[in-house]
Amino acid sequence: MYHSWLDRWDERRARRGEEGKKPTYFVLDAERAFPGAKKITSIEEFCARADQAVADPAFFDEPSGSDQGFERQDGWLKFSSDISTDIEQNNVVSAKITESGSFDQAMVIFHHWNASARNRQIANFFSQRGITVVEIAMPYHFERSRPGSVHADYMLSPNLGRTIQSVRQAVLDGRKLIRWLKSEGYREISVLGMSLGSWVAAIVAAHDLAVSKASLFLTAGSLADMVWTGRATRSIRDSLEPEIDLTDLRRAWGPLNLENYGHGLARPDLDLHVVLARRDRVVLPELSERFMQRLKDAGARPNIL
């Protein structure tokens, strides 16, 4: 009975979240996803290019010489993103720093999709325990929001190319922030990601050896499957489904599938912590369970709560 009530409450909440969302349309937009890509006009061409990105270990690497232009003031850090988009506000990264008074540990937090504010409680909890917390704004969130938008609809959408570009931008922004933290003298760097933020945190941790701990909250492997099955992303599926099937969407968004980075997440010098829900209509538990098994198959030993 309680679960039925909870499902009804969750459905009402999801419907409220859909209010104000404008219909969006399926677009390839490969030029956004794959810098330097030639004109791509078919799903098969897009998927083939995505396969190349998955095989390219440098796809999530930072550009050389990208450590300039940091501005710190009154507990905030600002710097230019290394990916330039057509939304000016999105090209400047803002991060809130909650100091611990120690340079032993720093944690970078990536919040969930459509988060409306940073989480002061989490920041204070860790800072009081000697961990400096840096809450970064993901693309199209917080100070980086698109003017006039009420949702972060450019971060995750039926636009295949922009979605890849946005997640890649979030990863590169996070890695650039980590470079700055190391240059400031922080010895141990950890990342924490929630829901969509966990995809970003995991890709950062899989590619950046400076990260020694990663905590993934409400995560799974395939972003395509999460969007296809999750209640919060139903409107995105409604736009995708007439144009692309799930099999092709998995290939198209292969660069965002954490299962492709299992070996990076299984590196022996990375402590991996995962928090999952038994009931979750956004990231279905069966998707999370499949991802945990893939991690274990790759040699990872995640601490699962």
Beta-bridge partners for 98: 133
Q: Are 281 and 85 in contact (CB under 8 A)?
A: no
According to the model, what pLDDT value does residue 66 have? 63
pLDDT score recorded for residue 11: 45
**What domain range includes position 290?**
2-304
Query: Which CATH number is 252's domain given?
Result: 3.40.50.1820
Calculate ∠ Cα 217-221-224, nearest 5°. Answer: 115
pLDDT single digits (tens) 112-131: 999 999 999 999 999 999 99
Is 251 within 8 Å of 55 (Cβ atoms)?
A: no
Token couple for 209: 């050896």
Which amino acid is present at 112?
A: H
The pLDDT value given to residue 67: 67
Distance of CA 5 to the CA centre of its chain: 30
Q: pLDDT (tens digit, 9 = 90+) per residue, 24-42?
A: 899 999 999 998 888 899 9
Extract the residue ranges of the chain whose pLDDT is less than 50.
1-2, 5-6, 8-9, 11-13
Counted domains in the chain: 1
**Distance in angstroms (rounded) separating the CA atoms of residues 203 and 261:** 7
Half-sphere exposure of 155 (CA within 13 A, CB side): 27
